[in-house]
Chain A
Amino acid sequence: MKDFANEKWTRRSLLTAIGLAGGTAAMYDAMLSMGYAANSDFSDPITLQGDAKGASVIILGAGIAGMVAAYEMRKAGYKVKILEFNNRPGGRNWSLHAGDSYTDIGGTTQKVDFAPGQYFNPGPWRLPYHHQGILHYCKMLNVPLESFVMYNNAALVHSAGAFGGKPKRFREVAADYEGHISELLAKATSQNKLDDQLDKDEKDGVLQMLKTWGGLDKNYEYRKGDQTSDFRGYDIPPGGGLMPGPVPSDIMPRKELFNSSLWNALYFPKQWDFQGQLFQPKGGMGEIGKAFGKLLDGVIQYDCKVTNIRQDETGVTVTYINSKTGGAPKTEKADWCVNTIPVSVLSQIPMNVGPKMRAAIDSLPYLPAVKVGLQFKRRFWEEDDNIYGGNTYTDQPIFNISYPSHGFFEKGPAVLLGAYIYRSGMRVYNFEALSAQEQIEAALEQGSKIHPQYRAEFMTGVAVAWHRVPWTLGCSGLWNDALREKHYADMCAVDNRIVLAGEHCSRLMAWQEGSVLSALDAITRLHKRVMSA
């Protein structure tokens, strides 16, 4: 253990150097390959070295990116100030609690009349274990984290066109796909049809594996019985005494299963981001933003709508008006500027940067997305269906129902995610274009195909369509390969005294980790510029 701290320090300086040379992605890749980002004792993502000599920075936007930048730069000796459009910290890091209200850009106000203690995350809601940057700040801010249930074998997979529209359990779908595919493969192998691919030793190994993994019998068949029900569940599970079980369950016929699209849902738990462990802050994702806002008390000036950004040799002048009352424009001047305003909005704000950064800002559309939170009188998914947290998927537009990962077994009302619409390409705009009332109604209509209890148990709901969120005009930057190639580097470059940061300046689209890493990378490069100025 000798010199552990020292070794860490060296690694960190190296990472900073890599970050400077290759940008965030290179740094992050390097962090992972060095086993650094994954370290549980991750203590401090950066240290800005050298005296800032009281230089001032104006930071635009008090989302995660802006607050990380402010905190780290203040620590390094900068005079920091944030201008924020909303009257709260957090930006997209945001939860709607009982008693809150939300007014969209069209002026529609929804009152969140949930039962006391209930909340809904209209934006971010889950944190993968390897997002060590945002997790670092949660720890630093003492934001308690609890487990987010991503994958639950008892949750449902539904396709309107498969099995008469009757939802299946995840465990049934997974077991039957694996079983049927194992059977096909095991038969081909044992009947020597793969001999040009597999030598004798491999063959035995593969057969052994398929038999165990797929739940096949001695003839390599996937058949109804105790073995397969042990995977997919029983019609009547084993009981005590003279109780009737176990009664094994029927297997879904191969052809019908293979012709369905149910396999699509199996792909989620395979992805690195969703494999788990995942976390959520206790009491709502917005707890991170709130805690950060407290830490930066006095630094953030709320209700400021930035309307103009100008830089010259002497500094950066930001013009703003009161976002509620308008009124006479005011200005704020600083030596440097970290600008985290989403480019969906920033593309509309005059700012004198070079043509390349301007082209980058003007190039990026934002993803459409709708989330609907529904409060029910009771946790029928737990009480009637034994589903404790996790996600149900459907090929209806609502796509995703997510059961709360907290408050298990509680009596009384509870809120679930009744729709999460973002995957159906252009059709998402059709959903965003509905009124909040219509979005809630659609969530109820489609959800009741999966949970017939919906109508009787429903109490109240709230819907957020992200293009109508007044301060982001969209969910997240919609980069593709061609746009990245053309504009990403220019978006992230320091333009004289201004650097952009935020989710849109990262390769982690729609993850708070992207905002954190972008902010750290941006201020590291800006600081270097300040030191050499």
Chain B
Amino acid sequence: MKANTILLAAALSLAATGAMAQANCNQFPQQGGEALYNGICQDCHMPDGRGAEGAGHYPALARNPKLAEPGYPISVVTQGLKSMPAFGGAMSDQQIADVVNYVRTHFGNAYKDTVKPEDVKNAR
């Protein structure tokens, strides 16, 4: 837990070891594509995957042709992309498959092929 020593220095004092910590707070509890999307992705990509624009932006996942190749969203969710954090450590293969399938079949996306947990496992 070496990283913690650094984190302790933060104004926000982030010691993961500690204070008043909630159980297992580094795993997302949500199950199923919709719950995962609403509980996580919606924070930045907004309800309905419409994205948002300010000084920087969150890309729209709605009608996004880059979701055609399932390996891409799997890798983005697992590994992160620039300021999008990596969620691989906080989600099971099943959860990642579910949320990727969800965004690939909602918000104007209608990709037919389904991602399986094994696909995620192989991509980790």
A residues within 8 Å of B by Cβ?
85, 105-107, 124, 126, 159, 261, 264-265, 267-268, 271, 273-274, 305-306, 323, 341, 343-345, 347-349, 362, 364-369, 393-395, 397, 399, 422-427, 429-430, 432-433, 465, 467-476, 478-482, 484, 507-511
Contacts and interface: CB of A to CB of B under 8 A. Distances in A.
B12 A508 contact: no
A426 B9 contact: no
A425 B52 CA distance: 24
B108 interface: no
B107 interface: no
Nearest to A395: B20
Question: Which 5 pairs of residues, A with B, have the shortest CB-CB distance?
Answer: A470-B54, A345-B56, A433-B43, A365-B85, A264-B19
Chain A binding surface SS class: loop
B123 interface: no
Contacts of B9: 273, 507-509
Contacts, number: 165
B114 interface: no
Interface in B10-27: 10-16, 18-22, 25-27
B39 A394 contact: no
A399 B20 contact: yes
Interface residues of B, number: 49
B13 A273 contact: yes
A429 B40 contact: yes
A474 B83 contact: yes
Contact of B12 (A365, A467, A471, A510): A510
B6 A368 contact: no
Nearest to A323: B55
Among A469, A470, A472, chain B packs the most CB atoms within 10 A around the CB of A470
Given A105-B58, A273-B11, A432-B43, A264 B83 contact: no
A365 B6 CA distance: 16
Nearest to A305: B55
A394 B43 contact: no
B12 A422 contact: yes
A124 B10 CA distance: 12
Contacts of A267: 15, 18-19
A274 B13 contact: yes
Contacts of A393: 19-20
Contacts of A105: 52-54, 58
Contacts of B57: 348
11 contacts: A85-B54, A264-B20, A265-B20, A362-B82, A365-B83, A365-B86, A394-B20, A422-B14, A425-B90, A429-B28, A480-B6
B32 to A, nearest CB: 14
Given A265-B20, A369-B12, A344 B56 contact: yes
Nearest to B58: A105
B63 to A, nearest CB: 18
Contacts of B90: 425-426
A107 B52 contact: yes
Contacts of A159: 20
Contacts of A367: 10, 12, 14
Nearest to A393: B20
B40 A261 contact: no
B14 A465 contact: no
Contacts of A482: 3
A508 B6 CA distance: 9
Contacts of B8: 271
A429 B36 CA distance: 11
Nearest to A510: B11
A481 B3 contact: yes
Contacts of B111: none
Contact of B55 (A85, A268, A468): A85
B112 interface: no
A427 B19 contact: no
B36 to A, nearest CB: 10
A273 B10 CA distance: 9
Given A105-B53, A268-B13, A425-B90, 19 more contacts: A124-B11, A265-B19, A343-B83, A344-B56, A362-B82, A364-B83, A365-B80, A367-B10, A399-B20, A423-B12, A426-B25, A433-B38, A433-B43, A468-B44, A470-B55, A481-B2, A508-B9, A509-B12, A511-B11
